[in-house]
Amino acid sequence: MPTSTDIAASIAQLRCEINDHNHHYYVLDDPQIPDAEYDRLMQRLQALERQAPELITLESPTQRVGAKPLAGFDEVAHRVAMLSLDNAFNDDDMLAFDARITKGLEVEQVTYCAEPKLDGLAVSLRYENGLLVRAATRGDGRVGEDITQNVRTISSVPLRLMGDDFPSVLEVRGEVYMPRVGFDALNKRQRDHGGKPFANPRNAAAGSLRQLDPKITATRPLAMYCYGVGEVDEQRLPTSHRAILACLKGWGLRVSPETDEVYGAAGCLEYYRKIGAKRDALPYEIDGVVFKVNSLKQQQALGFVSRAPRWAIAHKFPAQEEMTRLIGIDIQVGRTGALTPVARLEPVFVGGVTVTNATLHNEDEVRRKDVRAGDTVVVRRAGDVIPEVVSVVLAQRPNDARAFVMPTDCPVCGSEVRRAEGEAVSRCSGGLYCSAQRKEAIKHFASRRAMDIEGLGDKLVEQLVEVGWLNSVADLYDRSALPHEKLAGMDRMGDKSADNLIAAIDKSKQTTLAHFLFSLGIREVGEATARALANHFGNLPTIMEADEEALLQVADVGPVVVANLRAFFHEPHNREVIESLQRLGVQWPDVVAQKDLPQPLAGQTFVLTGSMETMTRDEAKGKLQALGAKVTGSVSKKTSYVVVGDDPGSKRDKADKLGVTLLDEAALRKLLEEPPNSSD
Ligand code: IVH
């Protein structure tokens, strides 16, 4: 029987170990053990604590969630006010800020600490003797709300500081936010359960922190980055902001790895652009960058104005959300006949461009958001993403706002609109009779990754379809349907451009089976599927006649693709177009059908990592697949071989750990040249 001292020692040891893993996982982003092993440690600790409940303390990692729901939040007075920041909206504002500082300090150049400006909520954490005793919102800067029990559920917030050289009272300030992936998953969960999704990660973070029941907060994927300190009882902190952040990091608090030191206005502007370029790739949302005079002595000399320090500024990025009026809801008909409701907007500058249209995705989405013509809406445009309507400002809805109804007939061709059961999309049933679908089908056919007809732009296709000279993709190759004079006479065309276009059309006649298949625009048949079909069957007639069973043999082809392929090739019109194209000279070499080749590597799974000398990874992949092997991106117990080139990534280590056989480039070449006999 273990004695109670044994149990106490094991508990202490386990807490230490778990805290250390937490720190690696949540703060350093560098997990040391698999999740399953972490779970086992937690279970062991829980079991021990059940045996000796008198040893349970609030700082135990098992006690992050435990408190009962609150009736309301208590008020917390901030002993050191939580200030706000002045904003700079352009380079000139930034230059003026730097000029004020250098003048005020009477120096040539100032050193700044540069940090991303996270889009979340400011939170203050109070540690006493290294233990988290209180967490509070900013509130009005002087008085906030006590959200201790909710913040305790955030894994990247340590319940106890690491080391022993921290001040006995240490108030840390930072931003609680919700990473994008977590936000998307949370919204999906909300939707699946019929709940209302959050408009953006910031709202989701705010909503999660204001839950009275910490068990709900615990399910929300929140994280925190620390960017400063409030009350500190002893003056033992370093004398620069950056050095203080380094201390916070040493005590186990999370500090943004983007934090940097920059010099003068030029350094600030360079940092602003660098982070701006990274903005959409960061795993969380930021709305700008913050510059803080690095020296605390200089900070003191500069002081404060009302609610913001003179020594710091937020240089904001263009807003990604703005309000505007929705004039009407139009319907766009896509290549596959999908009817997409599109919001026509009063022009608004958002995400760095002027937006006049925003997608509403589909009928259900319009209904869910309850978007009506005449409404004031919040429009979002982030990076290269298509602008979208996020929500309606209900308080500003006019009395005559009109609800949306999906048309029953196609607004372009008048054919019946159908919405298949279980599908979110309504489609025009007109097929290529519908000029909208025809335009899109031709644009797709001519696009770079399909038949690659240079110079056949979207506008030209639209015009040619509208005047009735281009009725099918076959017309492109038919000089009696579309002679030089007609092309030369179109807007922004001329003799020379018509010549060039005809040359490009002629050039596109020599293609590959995979490109041709892809260019037909069969629903769900993307580039990869087209390539798989071409390689598997080798020629078009076999694909056109293949039955369900044969098609299902192809890698990644499932019942939906099979149904689409069969329906497409069953349609006489489509067969005629294919025949015409071939008659007009479109051709490709047949390839040796994989299905007829021996598949000596069937059933084997390969992972490729690092670079090779004699072939690219894509080539190696193609060759392995041609021999029947499966090539995947991540190593697991099911992996048969990991091919290791130069500079291999972590996959090599993983293979080592799992005992998967490694092959170098020479061994791979040998295997490709002399594959094992399948009868071996
Ligand atoms: S410093 C005395 N640093 O921006 C300076 N704030 O507009 C106080 N924020 O309330 C704030 N990232 O919620 C600072 N790296 C950062 C920040 C940051 C985001 C937020 C914070 C603050 C607001 C001010």
The secondary structure of 461-489, three-state, reads HHHHHHCCCCCCHHHHHCCCCCCHHHHHC
Contacts of 29 by beta carbon, 8 Å cutoff, 6+ apart? none
Q: What's the pLDDT at 117?
A: 96
Mean pLDDT, range 183-197, rounded to an integer = 88
- Residue 92 clears pLDDT 50, i.e. is over it: yes
Q: How far is CA 260 from CA 111, 239, 269, in A?
A: 10, 16, 13
Cα(459)–Cα(31) distance, integer angstroms: 52
Per-residue model confidence as pLDDT tens digits over 471-507 = 999 999 999 999 999 999 999 999 999 999 999 999 9
pLDDT computed for residue 240 by the predictor: 96
For the chain, give the mean pLDDT.
92
The CA–CA distances, whole Å, from 445 to 25, 183, 381 equal 48, 37, 29
- Is 312 a pocket residue for ligand 1 (Cβ < 6 Å)? yes
DSSP string computed for 546-580: --HHHHHTSTT--HHHHHHHHHHHH-HHHHHHHHH
Query: In terms of Cα–Cα distance, which of 345, 584, 571 is closest to 478?
Result: 584
pLDDT band at 598 (very low <50, low <70, confident <90, very high): confident
Ligand 1 pocket residue status of 229, Cβ below 6 Å: no
How far apart (Å, rounded) are the C-alpha atoms in residues 304 and 86?
11
From ligand 1's centre to the CA of 301, what distance in Å?
20
Atom 9 of ligand 1 has which residue's CA nearest to it? 117
Which residue has better confidence, 627 or 596? 627
Pocket of ligand 1 contains residue 88 by CB under 6 Å: no
Helix (H) or strand (E) holding 605: strand 605-609
Between 207 and 599, where is the model more confident?
A: 207
Question: Taking 70 as the threshold, does the pLDDT of residue 235 lie above it?
Answer: no
Q: What is the mean pLDDT of residues 14-37?
A: 85
pLDDT band for position 306 (cuts 50, 70, 90) = confident
**166 exposed, middle or buried (CB, 10 Å; 0-12, 13-18, 19+)?**
buried
Residue type, 41: L
Which pLDDT belongs to residue 442? 96
Cα separation of 93 and 302, whole Å? Answer: 18
Q: Which residues contact 307 (CB under 8 A, 6 or more apart)?
A: 83, 84, 141
pLDDT tens readout for residues 533-577: 998 899 999 999 999 999 988 877 889 999 999 999 998 889 999
Q: What is the mean pLDDT of residues 609-616?
A: 88
Contact 299, 237 (CB under 8 A): no
Ligand 1 center to residue 314 CA distance, Å?
Answer: 8
Q: From its phi and psi, is residue 472 left (phi > 0), alpha (psi between -120 and 50) or beta? A: beta
- Whats the size of the chain, residue-wise? 680
Q: Which residue has the higher pLDDT, 198 or 476?
A: 476
Contacts of 604 (CB under 8 A, 6+ apart): 628, 629, 630, 640, 641
What local confidence, expressed as pLDDT, does residue 632 receive? 86
Q: What is the pLDDT of residue 542?
A: 95
Catalytic residue among 117, 439, 443, 623: 117
In the residue annotation, 117 being an active-site residue is answered as yes
Does residue 57 carry a pLDDT above 70?
yes
Sign of the Cα pseudo-torsion (393, 399, 400, 404, in order): positive
Distance from residue 524's CA to the centre of ligand 1 (Å): 46
Q: Which atom of ligand 1 has the smallest separation from the CA of 121? A: 13
Question: What distance lies between CA 109 and its chain's CA centroid?
Answer: 39
The residue whose CA is least distant from atom 23 of ligand 1 is 84
Q: What is the pLDDT of residue 333?
A: 95
Distance CA 378, CA 360 (A): 12
Residue 324 scores a pLDDT above 80: yes
**Cα–ligand 1 centroid distance for 122 (angstroms):** 7
Distance CA 162, CA 177 (A): 23
Banded model confidence at residue 67, pLDDT cuts 50, 70, 90 = low
Q: Does residue 226 have its Cβ closer than 6 Å to ligand 1?
A: no
pLDDT interval class at 391 (50, 70, 90)? confident
Cα–Cα distance for residue pair 131/2, rounded to 1 Å? 29
> With 90 as the cut, is the pLDDT of residue 45 above it?
yes
With the most atoms of ligand 1 within 8 angstroms of its CB, the residue from 117, 138, 310 to mutate is 117
- Ligand 1 atom at minimal distance to the Cα of residue 117: 12
Place of tokens 């991540």: 634
Ligand 1 proximity of 123 Cβ (cutoff 6 Å): no
Q: How confident is the model at residue 678 (pLDDT cuts 50, 70, 90)?
A: very low
Q: How many angstroms does the Cα of residue 225 sit away from the middle of ligand 1?
A: 11
Distance of CA 196 to the CA centre of its chain: 21
Give yes or no for residue 175 CB within 6 A of ligand 1: yes
Q: Which residue has the higher pLDDT, 423 or 496?
A: 496
- What is the per-residue pLDDT for 205? 94
What is the pLDDT, as a whole number, of residue 679?
41
- pLDDT tier at 616 (50, 70, 90 boundaries)? confident
What are 648's two structure tokens? 């291999």
Contact present, 161 and 252 (Cβ < 8 Å): yes
Across 54-58, 88-92, 224-228, 669-673, the highest mean pLDDT is recorded for 224-228
pLDDT at 184 over 60: yes
CA 316–ligand 1 middle distance (angstroms): 12
**Site of tokens 């086992």:** 40
Q: Give residue 66's pLDDT.
A: 63
Report the relative pairing of strands 111-118 and 286-293 from DSSP bridges: antiparallel
Q: CA-CA distance, 502 to 477, in Å (whole number)?
A: 9
Percent of the chain scoring above 90 in pLDDT? 72
pLDDT, average across residues 162-169: 93
Is the backbone of residue 533 left (phi > 0), alpha (psi -120 to 50) or beta? alpha
Residue ranges and CATH numbers for the domains of the chain are 4-63 (1.10.287.610), 75-316 (3.30.470.30), 321-396 (2.40.50.140), 407-597 (1.10.150.20), 598-673 (3.40.50.10190)
pLDDT score of 680 more than 70: no
How confident is the model at residue 644, as a pLDDT?
Answer: 92
